[in-house]
Amino acid sequence: MSPGFALREAHAHIYQAGRALNMVDLAACESVEEVLEALGACEARSGAVLAHGARPESWVEQRWPSADEIESVARGRVLVAWCFDYHALIASRAALRAAGIDERTPDPPGGIIERDDQGRLTGVVCESAALRVWESLPEPDAAERQRCVQAGVRALVENHGFVEIHDLKAQRWLGGVLRSVVNELDGAVHVRIWPLLEDLDEVLETRRTWESEHVRLGGAKIFVDGTLNSRTAWMLYDYADGREDHPRGIAMMTPREIEEAVRRCDAAGVPLAAHAIGDAAVRAVLDAIERVGPSGSGFRIEHCELVDETDVPRLAELGVIASVQPCHLLYDMEALARGVPDRLDRVLPLRELIESGLKPGEGLIFGSDVPIVRADPEDSVLAAVERRRGDGPGPPPIAPSQAISREQAWECFRSTVGV
């Protein structure tokens, strides 16, 4: 039941969402056996079996398939299956070979090539090593890119009724492709793109050629920390089950670098969107914005999964937008309960953020992070209101005192274009 006004998806990855529509979706699998069945049944389009949505933690066996199991369904083909959070994947031998990875290959900086106790590759690769495998696949040509972007936009418009979409890690070429895709939709949708800060100059240079009322540059994106599931989100306190080398997760940027990013964006006349999931990352971004005091507005923190009590009022004070995806709570409940059991009250403090002065739909905005999770806005409304999955058994609600009303939750999806 939608609210009767135009909706905005404030955090999407359009191209990947379109591309994912052509991949095997493992989200509904409940066991390694089901995963192998789904992968084995795939008629590899373009010669490779591609899948996404794997959640090994939620499978009966609570493990990835073994290298031999992967091979039994890959049957010599290139097979790559992403973990839902896009920070790890499993790859068949042919896929590893194509990426130049064998048993003697050392872990790349910021990546892990998993091996068993005998040093044999398990097929699981993480972070930068996963990207290396992914990037060694044949890159879709321009026509295929266009099809993916088109499918991604159409799914958001037609399945969920969004009239405004923000892409939060836009490829350098996305603006140009969106121009024609959006034209075909007769102006039914407005897209705002946020390329990586390192791509900003290039995008600014081409801006004239693609920008219109409907497709616009939103600002630039940086990553300040990692993710909750990989325990790389940067926290103020140790995780209960953290990584030995990084008990509080990983700061991907120094305070100085964050400040520099704020300054660069402000000089370019665009806001910054900072990916910050852990409470230490959120604080670091607020500190940087406070120190620089940008003259422009619209600076955003993406995710804000944990926010320390003392930092809550700072967003409204500094004019920073909280761009949140409550729907992740539905998937992350177990991971949160294991990782930050003593800080659960700091998870998505939506009520406090509103009480501190963030206006739903303006200072507090919702999105999904599709294709990491599905884009259905009802999921975020459910998470924001109930703080747990729907009825029935399941873990208890997370920080129920931070619940907001259905009306407030929908308001966070209200589009502000054309008003």
Residues that bind Zn ion (CB under 5 A): 369
Pairing of strands 162-170, 7-12: parallel
- Closest by CA to 419, choosing from 365, 378, 361, is 361
Strand pairing partners for 322? 301, 364
Cis bond upstream, residue 371 (ω within 30): yes
Tokens of 387: 């703080």
- Burial of 280 by CB count in 10 Å (0-12 exposed, 13-18 middle, 19+ buried)? buried
- Minimum CB separation from Zn ion for residue 222, in Å? 12
Closer residue to Zn ion (CB): 303 or 351: 303
Strands (E), 2-54: 7-12, 24-25, 48-54
Closer residue to Zn ion (CB): 20 or 292: 20
- Minimum CB separation from Zn ion for residue 261, in Å? 17
Three-state SS at 61? coil
Other beta carbons within 10 angstroms of residue 135's beta carbon come to: 9
Residue with smallest beta-carbon separation from Zn ion: 369
Closer residue to Zn ion (CB): 121 or 153: 153
Closer residue to Zn ion (CB): 18 or 123: 18
State how far the Cα of 299 lies from the Cα of 49, in Å rounded to an integer.
Answer: 39
- Minimum CB separation from Zn ion for residue 11, in Å? 6
Report CA torsion sign: 278, 281, 286, 289: negative
- Burial of 275 by CB count in 10 Å (0-12 exposed, 13-18 middle, 19+ buried)? buried
Closer residue to Zn ion (CB): 332 or 369: 369
- Minimum CB separation from Zn ion for residue 96, in Å? 27
- Minimum CB separation from Zn ion for residue 78, in Å? 26
Closer residue to Zn ion (CB): 32 or 156: 156
- Minimum CB separation from Zn ion for residue 369, in Å? 4
Closer residue to Zn ion (CB): 145 or 275: 275
- Minimum CB separation from Zn ion for residue 228, in Å? 13
